[in-house]
Amino acid sequence: MITVCDAAQGEPCPAWPGHPLGAHWGIADPAAAPMPEQRAAMLDAYRKLSVQVTSLVNLPIETMDLASLKAALVVIARLEGASPLAIELAA
């Protein structure tokens, strides 16, 4: 499970069977930008999330052990544009 909103990080998630792996990939909330800048903020958030999701889907998950996958999610969490909270949690 991946959270991207700093306000949602740490909130209880729905129950998932097993022991799902979680990560926080926080980025600035584009809705918090002033109205004249919201479109640009939305496009920027989309670009940043696109880079993170692309990084995730390009991982060789089938051949990775749990520790390697966790480490890769930390690297992705710290990519350009990560919120201070995401960087702190990925430390």
Distance CA 91, CA 86 (A): 9
> How would you write 17-50 as a 3-class SS string?
CCCCCCEECCECCHHHCCHHHHHHHHHHHHHHHH
Asked if residue 7 has pLDDT above 80, the reply is no
Give tens-digit pLDDT for 11-48: 776 777 887 888 888 888 898 899 999 999 999 999 99
Overall domain count for the chain: 1
Record the tokens describing residue 13, joined without a space: 């998630």
* Contact between 29 and 53 (Cβ < 8 Å): no
**What does the pLDDT read at residue 5?**
79
Q: Residue 72 belongs to what domain range?
A: 2-89
